[in-house]
Amino acid sequence: MSSHLHNLFAAEFDSLPATTQQDVYQEFYHLVYPMVRFIMKDHGATEDIIQEAFLRAIRKASQLQEQEKVASWLKTLTRNVAFNYLRKWRKSRGELDSDEVFESIEAALSVHEMPIEQEVETKMMEEAITRYIHQLKPEYRQILEMRLVHHLSYKEMAATLNVKEGMIRHKLHRAREEIKNKLQKEWNIT
């Protein structure tokens, strides 16, 4: 078990010194941040999820039978908080998709845990792609958002924008090519 996380199992976590509480939270934060950021794709939401999961971990720490498995227990608890948040958010917006979305993310996370260097590189690449999207022409950004965020079909996008499906396909292809070219140039990705 790590040097600070064992303090989660203190009988009265609230009575621990503030510096100890802060050390526990920092270690917890660094343990789960890459996973939650991958799921949420938003730094603000990631911060909220981590805080909520930490409070839940404090309340439920006594339920853990094998304290040497604290890291995997905390990751599972935090992942479940993130998935619950996404389900509630989608349901409140009337966009509840099948659980396939969550299952695919869960499968990707459970296949293997990335080394920290790879997690950091992945995070940096995600941020770079987001930056590249913001540098696109407004019409390309709009089409990417319609496709990737709102999951509209080509037919739905064409109807919304009052253009032919071929034009949507062409613009979407051009937008992806611009992002791909920037990735190739800056990251040497082919």
Where in the sequence is the domain holding 155, given as residue range(s)?
114-190
Q: Name which of 22-26, 104-108, 122-126 the model is least confident about.
A: 104-108
Average pLDDT, the chain: 78
CB neighbours of 67 closer than 8 A, spacing ≥ 6? 1, 6, 9
Whether pTM > 0.75 for this model: the answer is no
Pair (102, 11) in one structural domain: yes
CA–CA distance, 36 with 59 (Å, rounded to integer): 20
CA–CA distance, 173 with 186 (Å, rounded to integer): 20
What's the pLDDT at 98? 39
Pair (92, 30) in one structural domain: yes
Q: 95-109 as b/e, with b when 16 or more CB fall inside 10 Å? A: eeeeeeebeebeeeb
More confident residue, 90 or 163: 163
- Among 54, 79, 113, give the residue marking a domain's end: 113
Residue 49, both tokens = 């999820």
- Among 62, 89, 113, give the residue marking a domain's end: 113
- Among 96, 113, 130, give the residue marking a domain's end: 113
Task: Calculate the dihedral angle through the C-alpha atoms of 13, 14, 18, 22, rounding to the nearest 10 degrees.
Answer: 50
Per residue in 27-58, pLDDT (tens digit) is 889 888 988 888 788 788 889 999 999 999 88
119, with CB counted inside 10 A (0-12, 13-18, 19+), is middle
Pair (19, 32) in one structural domain: yes
User: How many domains does the chain fold into?
Assistant: 2
CATH number reported for the structural domain that contains residue 27 in this entry: 1.10.1740
Q: What's the rounded mean pLDDT across residues 132-152?
A: 86
Pair (124, 107) in one structural domain: no
CATH number reported for the structural domain that contains residue 151 in this entry: 1.10.10.10
Apex CA 136: angle with CA 178 and CA 148, to 5°? 85
Inter-residue contact 50 to 36 (CB < 8 Å): yes
What's the pLDDT at 52? 92
